[in-house]
Chains A and B, each alone.
Chain A
């Protein structure tokens, strides 16, 4: 039973390019959460999605960032026109129902040069 799969594991982008981060939740999980982590820091909540719907995007910057979780396929976190400050580890987590423990992927480490 595969866990939460994130790809790519490492992503390098030049300033101004787009970054697309993918997350396949655990089988049977319809709730997906994206978090961002800077070195030596905790996880900062970005967005919570449930199949085809954004439930809470209060932690996501209004500009350049977007997220989706389509009916078929993985959840995508998209960052347009990346800047150096976007460099971080981005973690995806999933759960079967609301308020249950989260299962995390191993993250995508984005480096903006």
Chain B
């Protein structure tokens, strides 16, 4: 069953602009993770935010978590063409496996 749902499904922006992707989930969590997938490749872990954290930064990435709304957002600032990829949020299932959403496909035009 789907736990996380990303929004929007697709996003197209110009280089230099900021990109914001949202994730909503259904059940309570210990942490939420964001991953990136370049075309034809495996996923790469970007950032993990714990349920007691509200915001976390890593380079040009900023992740927020609102447990009362069961939602998270990923902000990429000053986007580059190389940021073009699909972005997924993931939350843990009952046995410790990760459940992924359908992803947001980001296209950054030079």
Contacts and interface: CB of A to CB of B under 8 A. Distances in A.
Given A42-B103, A99-B31, A101-B33, A48 B43 contact: no
A42 B97 CA distance: 15
Contact of B98 (A33, A41, A55, A106): A33
Interface residues of A, number: 25
A103 B45 contact: yes
A55 B95 contact: yes
Measured as residues with beta carbon below 8 angstroms from the partner, the interface class of chain B is 20 to 34
A107 B100 contact: no
A4 B96 contact: no
A82 interface: no
Contacts of B15: none
15 contacts: A33-B97, A33-B98, A42-B103, A43-B88, A45-B93, A93-B43, A99-B30, A99-B96, A101-B48, A102-B43, A102-B45, A103-B45, A106-B41, A106-B42, A107-B42
Interface of A: 4, 31, 33, 35, 40-43, 45, 48, 55-56, 58-59, 91, 93, 98-99, 101-107
